[in-house]
Structure 1
Amino acid sequence: MPTLSRRAMLLGGLATSLALPRPAGAQAGRDAPAFPPSRIVSMDFGLAETLIEMGLPPIAIPNPGEWADWVVEPALPPGIANLGTDREPNLEVLAALKPDLIVSTPYLDGIKLLLERFAPTRTFSVYAPPVGSAYARSISATRALAADVGRRDAGEELIARAQATMEETRRQLATAGLAGRSLLVVNFLDTRHVRVYGKGSLFGDVMERTGLVNSWTKPSNYWGFSTVGIEELADSPASSLVYLEPISTDTLDRLAASPLWNSLPFVKAGRIHRLPPVLMFGMLPSAMRFARQIARVLVEASSNG
């Protein structure tokens, strides 16, 4: 990107966007791709994780070195080429790869014509106006992507596996007496500001499906979050706080010394949980990872008193 790296986008407010597809598939580029395509470039981590879970990993993505910081699982297979940044991809690498298909997002519509010089380009949307359900849109985008790459059965299997994960997590939490537990889920931007995930976010949708309560009820943007000062989290005094990695040690140290932070109800009560990284703007694989991780952390905390 010229002014925004993927890391800045993830931390600072501009999300990757995935697309609500047309019934017959996604929005088409100029030409039809080879079918089924085998050399697919993904311009987005959420689409890439979906392709991996369907057994057709992309041959290249932007900034693969950041995968372990934001996605973690599914693991990124070895040998995936580095396209550079998503808004300024390395065109020499892209040309040398000779892709059959490029999958992208509305966030990158500004370079769609450029991408179409190298291969037919499809756009998929989950995080785009109007505000909606990221989980439901992920199902639609998964079906459209699966159709475009000739993996309809794999797409349906992924959708079913995600549903089974939600149901199993719901049972696990209920058995542990955690059904109805109220949570605030955040990423720290600095010691005074967080991104808190509300209704329609991927995390909010997973909480709803697994029997948890999302305590953040104020309006969110179409990415599913609000950026607020940490003092606003006091509006939900009975909630527990879940914060996601990555977070710097410096931020944690400064929070520990902050009178404002230490005055918050969930801090006083010790109702704080740290979660490993989960892609906040991901698709069904990220939804499953979030469900598994939130259940693990909450059940372990409950068992330890």
Structure 2
Amino acid sequence: MKRNFLAVLGLCSLVTAAPVFAAEITHEVGTTDVPDQVERIVVLEFSFIDALASVGVAPVGIADDNKRDRVIPAYTDVIGDEWVSVGTRKTPSLEVIASLAPDLIIADKKRHSAAYDTLSEIAPTIVLDSLGGDYHASVAQMAVIGEAIGKSDEMNARIAQHKATMADYVAQIKPKAEGISAQFGVTNAKGLWLHAPVSYNGSLLAMFGFDSTMKPAEGGVYEKVYVPTTLEQLSEVNPDILIFGEYADPSHVDSWQGDALYQDLNAVKSDKVYNVIAHNWSRLRGMVAAELTAADLLEIISK
């Protein structure tokens, strides 16, 4: 017999009177009735912090990977620093989440779909595709979150402001990017992962007018959003511009510096290899992240 998660934890006392539901929110794995007044929100991805900060809402719990400094000042300047860490984004603590008595949980499709039923026992839960979605999906998710927390007007205003900012960057970058291929990847001490054209950063590069030299699998499908890549595979992609986000120093890519195959890459030969802040480019995936990425790209393409 299936046992109620809250009963197993002995947290049934946290459950109060049934809330008044204000809206039915459609999300990646179904529909969820959300309360009329959402006040205690737990977010399990950084892009969801972006959404809340955009409308001045502070979550009570964040999956911050047990590293509070990963929540950047652009967010903490708005939401403060009083949130409770609920653990890592990959495996957040259900016990800690339940102890916070949330009235809304915002979870990621790839990381948390398997736990959706359990999370829904704790609080109304919506699931959005942060990790696997592209930039355009990320912006659309902001509107869903705005509706879920009863702040659609404020969120739509922020989205409009963001789109105007990005349009200005596109006007500056796209003419300079014409006919140039660019590729972003993250590297740690053990490997390199290129972000495919269907990824958040891949779709941003395309929006700014850069070509992609990454090829899809047979049938025109990219098998992975984040592709583990050897030096030999990188030499086949061989873009005009390489942009790396390094999670380690020295990184795996640094070990290739003396290799002839690396030195023969177009970007290396033309001194078009750039390092950016991996956390901002790869983990955040919100509107602030897109604006930071755009500023970096404008600097890169202007050199």
Give TM-score scaled by structure 2 length.
0.76
Which residue in the other structure is 1:115 paired with?
119
Which residue in the other structure is 1:58 paired with?
59
Map 1:236-255 to 2 at 5 A.
Answer: 236-237=237-238, 239-249=240-250, 251=252, 253-255=254-256
Which residue in the other structure is 1:155 paired with?
155
How far apart in 2 are the matches of 1:204 and 1:88?
Answer: 26
- Is 1:280 the counterpart of 2:282? The answer is yes
- Is 1:204 the counterpart of 2:207? The answer is no
Q: Which amino acid aligns with 1:144?
A: V
Which residue in the other structure is 1:167 paired with?
167
Which residue in the other structure is 2:295 paired with?
292
Counterpart of 2:216 (choices 212, 215, 218) is 218
How far apart in 2 are the matches of 1:237 and 1:90?
Answer: 41
Which residue in the other structure is 1:15 paired with?
none
Which residue in the other structure is 2:264 paired with?
263
Is the partner of 2:243 in helix, strand or coil?
strand
Q: Which amino acid aligns with 1:125?
A: D
1:215 deviation in Å? 3.0
Which residue in the other structure is 1:93 paired with?
96
How far apart in 1 are the matches of 2:148 and 2:261?
Answer: 51
Is the partner of 1:184 in helix, strand or coil?
strand
Conserved? CA contact 1:59–1:80, under 8 Å: yes
1:143 deviation in Å? 1.6
1:23 deviation in Å? 9.3
CA shift in 2, pair 1:227/1:52, >3 Å = same
Provide Cα deviations, 1:162-196, integer angstroms capped at 9, x if missing partner.
32232111222257x444432111112557x4221
Conserved? CA contact 2:238–2:266, under 8 Å: yes
1:261 deviation in Å? 2.4
Is the partner of 2:88 in helix, strand or coil?
coil
The aligned length equals 270
Q: Which amino acid aligns with 1:187?
A: V
Is the partner of 2:185 in helix, strand or coil?
strand
How far apart in 2 are the matches of 1:298 and 1:68?
Answer: 30
Q: Which amino acid aligns with 1:218?
A: P
How far apart in 1 are the matches of 2:270 and 2:158?
Answer: 39
How far apart in 2 are the matches of 1:211 and 1:73?
Answer: 30
1:272 deviation in Å? 0.5
Provide Cα deviations, 1:82-128, integer angstroms capped at 9, x if missing partner.
11234543344323322111111222122222222321111123555
How far apart in 1 are the matches of 2:60 and 2:224?
Answer: 27
CA shift in 2, pair 1:148/1:75, >3 Å = closer
Q: Which amino acid aligns with 1:108?
A: H
Which residue in the other structure is 1:80 paired with?
83
1:40 deviation in Å? 0.4
Question: Which fold has the larger relative contact order, with Cα–Cα distance below 8 Å and residues 6 or more apart in sequence?
Answer: 1
Higher radius of gyration, 1 or 2 = 2
Is the partner of 1:55 in helix, strand or coil?
coil
Q: Which amino acid aligns with 1:139?
A: V
1:39 deviation in Å? 1.0
Percent identical: 19
Conserved? CA contact 1:215–1:239, under 8 Å: no
Structure 2 spans left out of the alignment, 5+ residues:
1-22
Which residue in the other structure is 1:187 paired with?
186
1:160 deviation in Å? 1.7
Is the partner of 2:122 in helix, strand or coil?
coil
CA shift in 2, pair 1:82/1:237, >3 Å = closer
CA shift in 2, pair 1:262/1:290, >3 Å = same
Which residue in the other structure is 2:228 paired with?
227
1:37 deviation in Å? 0.4
Give TM-score scaled by structure 1 length.
0.76
